[in-house]
Amino acid sequence: MAIYNDEPASLTVESITNSVVIEFNALKLNNIYTQFPEFEPFQRKNLEKHIASLHKRILNQLQLTAQERYNLFIEKYPNIEQHVPNYHIASYLGITQQSLSRIRMKNN
């Protein structure tokens, strides 16, 4: 369930490295805020950063070329190509796998 709107989640998450996952619901989160009030400003700051990041990603998708998006992606995640299948990278960038291959050939 999506924690903030009480609807089924529309996406799944796949870990590319070993991870620790913590699962909780909105009620448990509210209890955490009650028991540890200092956690709420910390979480609010995380949400603000997340919103800013999403906003920037949307603008990049609208304003930048596929080549520019790829360059930013590689700059931000320099070693990710060793761990993630091409179709995931292409999907993240909003391009086809063929376009990703062409961009990579231009970069070499």
Rounded mean pLDDT, 3-9: 75
pLDDT tens string 55-84 = 999 999 999 999 999 999 999 999 998 889
**Amino acid in the structure at residue 36:** F
Q: Is residue 6, in this structure, part of any structural domain at all?
A: no
Count structural domains, the chain. Answer: 1
Q: Is residue 97, in this structure, part of any structural domain at all?
A: yes
pLDDT tens string 31-44 = 888 999 998 899 89
Residue 1 has pLDDT above 70, yes or no: no
Stronger pLDDT, 30 or 95, i.e. the higher one: 95
80, with CB counted inside 10 A (0-12, 13-18, 19+), is: middle
- Domain extent, residue 90, equals 38-107
Q: Rounded to whole angstroms, how far apart are CA atoms 27 and 30?
A: 5
DSSP string for residues in 43-70: HHHHHHHHHHHHHHHHHHHHHS-HHHHH
